[in-house]
Amino acid sequence: MAEIRVGGLSPWTVRLLSLVAGAAAAFAHPPWGFLPGLAGYALLLWLLGLGGAHRPLRSVFLTGWLAGCAYFLVCVWWIAEPFEVDAANQGWMAPFAVAAMTMGLALFWGCAAVAFRMVTSGDRRSGSIARVMVFAGVFGAAEWLRGHVFTGFPWDLVGESWRAGSAPSQTAAVVGAYGLTWITLAISSAPAVVHDGSRGRLTVVAAIGALFAIFVFGAARLGGAPTGVGGAPVVRVVQADVKQESKYDPAIFSSIVARYVRLTARRVSPRPDIVVWPEGAIPAAMGDYLAPGTWTLEAIEAALSPGQVLILGGYRIANGDASPPVIFNSLVVLRRNTRGIALEGLYDKYRLVPFGEFLPFDALAARLGIKTLVHVGDGFTPGPPPRPLSLPGLQTFQPLICYEAMYPGLAQSGARAAGVRASWIVNISNDAWFGSTSGPWQSLNMAGYRAIEEGLPMVRATPTGVSAIVDAFGRIAPRARLGQGAFGVIDAPLPPALTATPFSRTGDLPFAAMLLLSLLAAAPWRWARS
């Protein structure tokens, strides 16, 4: 049976344009930064309006889902890289993992498309501004759900299309990444209604005005940035360029330790007060290489000067030889004193990576044989929700391990629970899993948004790049970054913290208000149907 044409276009043309819309929007994200690609949201809104009220919902869903497939394929194709670390045993799973992740995340966009169609019924009579606001609301809500359902995966939220540290990104200090998602969707989709007569043209003018406003606000905020860092501690970020596959070779274990120790011991003036190693720096259990009397602990102690603090990440076994073991992905704070090295702080990762650090629905997966297939084993145990670490002689900091820096508001919730606001954020990550892909650059950009939202500087350490010291505006100084494949250190004073941002006080309340506006914009269609 011949397929029905949609708005005068063949079904295959609509599907192709859906893919183009999603891919264009994805390429707006760093590291590509092709901001004209944001017009992909206008194309998607136009496609969803084709066919009017007589278009089947399955066709509408397919349009949104295909756009989502293209978007997430561009954004998360790097997840194939971890399977190549053990290519002989796991390489065959890479294309299936990418396909499953892409098509699964795209379901959020497909459902958003159906929600848009059910609210508007394909009717354009209720106004161009209303359609744009409803579009921003349903797709903004879909992005929020993507960041929360089953622990969430808020990778490359729409609002994070702007490079962290740029003028538009500063709006996140007020409304957060989800609020900026709603604003970005509304501005970017507005050109779709330009041919709707005077109301359509007014909508486009309003979108241009909003775009101008966020640029002006951001420029003014950046123009008032403090410049003094007098008295700030000097931080050293160590990037030893240890590839992930190297960590599984026992023959080079000692050379890995030597790389970190040599970089830590490098002498400069002024001497760094704090040294930061990445997540999983040493490929062994912390209880083994930090045990008293071991050559590894002695080497680390010799590399540190009295009074220096070392922050590093690794895994620790909490219950010794018990079975099954309780394993945490942890961050520890060590201080060199006159008697040796003392443990002064500990944080266990709270947000674990699904299918990487734990297996969702573990019991069911074991019965189906999936647990053995993905080689997760018993996985890690999540720690308690993050809270700032307050240590003697050290500014209070908020630890975030690896992909915890994707989550808007996670640092904020820790500060509220502890009743203490941190002065900076430490984000240790093992981006070696990403290889030489776009993943580390995307991860760096998202981490920069957490600095903007909280008004706090961030120190980010990775084994292979990209390591950086980010200021409270999401910016990175030219000499405060080590790119992929670099071997070296970053030595710099810790940038100053800002006063509490509006987002750090209100959280996602502005975003909730935007969703309410979208709901009110949908009222004319509801009244018309009544």
Rg (CA), the chain: 25
C-alpha 272/C-alpha 304 separation (Å) is: 10
C-alpha 183/C-alpha 160 separation (Å) is: 11
Q: Are strands 274-276 and 476-482 parallel, antiparallel or unpaired?
A: unpaired
Are 422 and 415 in contact by the 8 Å Cβ rule? The answer is yes
- Active site residue ranges: 279, 349, 402
C-alpha 429/C-alpha 243 separation (Å) is: 13
Angle at 169 between CA 167 and CA 175, to 5 degrees: 125
C-alpha 92/C-alpha 100 separation (Å) is: 14
C-alpha 91/C-alpha 97 separation (Å) is: 10
**Partners of 425 in the beta sheet?**
398, 458
C-alpha 357/C-alpha 151 separation (Å) is: 13
Write out the H or E segment, with its range, that includes residue 257: helix 253-265
| DSSP character at residue 237 | E
**Partners of 401 in the beta sheet?**
428
The residue among 152, 148, 120, 139 whose CA lies nearest residue 186 is 139
The SS3 call for residue 355 is: coil
Tokens 């102690």: give the residue.
Answer: 301
Tokens of 187: 């501005």
The residue among 435, 459, 434 whose CA lies nearest residue 447 is 459
The residue among 451, 329, 461 whose CA lies nearest residue 383 is 329
Left (φ > 0), alpha (ψ -120 to 50) or beta: where does 465 sit? left
